[in-house]
Amino acid sequence: GQNIDQPTEMTATEGAIVQINCTYQTSGFNGLFWYQQHAGEAPTFLSYNVLDGLEEKGRFSSFLSRSKGYSYLLLKELQMKDSASYLCAVTSNTGNQFYFGTGTSLTVIP
């Protein structure tokens, strides 16, 4: 089976750095994705990790440790528009299917 855990809610201050953690237990791990979803909108792709290490893309970075079943999404220089839900999703090597966590609702305050 698949089990993905992430915190339900987080609050951070504009301009600060926030780290959203995701732990997973999965059979046949293939890769890990992070998506951003604003209220009432489609989830949009942020990052993809298949190998251990850090992937950096502008203000967003994602880290993966396959041996620990652990990933985090790092958001730097937080902006008000970063208030959204952040979804961690794992894919398996058995098919085109994402297993999602319940999402972390991030609120950025002034």
Partner 1 sequence: KAGVTQTPRYLIKTRGQQVTLSCSPISGHRSVSWYQQTPGQGLQFLFEYFSETQRNKGNFPGRFSGRQFSNSRSEMNVSTLELGDSALYLCASSLNPRDLYGYTFGSGTRLTVV
Which residues contact partner 1 by CB under 8 A?
30-31, 33, 35, 40-45, 48, 87, 89, 91, 95-103
Q: How far is the CB of 54 from partner 1 (least distance, A)?
A: 18
Q: Is 104 exposed, middle or buried (0-12, 13-18, 19+ CB in 10 A)?
A: buried
Q: Judged by CB, which is closer to partner 1: 58, or 110?
A: 58
Q: How far is the CB of 44 from partner 1 (least distance, A)?
A: 7
Q: Judged by CB, which is closer to partner 1: 33, or 63?
A: 33
82 C-beta neighbours (distance < 10 Å), count: 20
- Tokens 């994602």 -> residue: 62
DSSP-assigned letters across all residues of 46-91: EEEE-SSEEEEETTEEEEEETTTTEEEEEE-S--GGG-EEEEEEEE
Q: Judged by CB, which is closer to partner 1: 38, or 68?
A: 38
Q: How far is the CB of 53 from partner 1 (least distance, A)?
A: 18
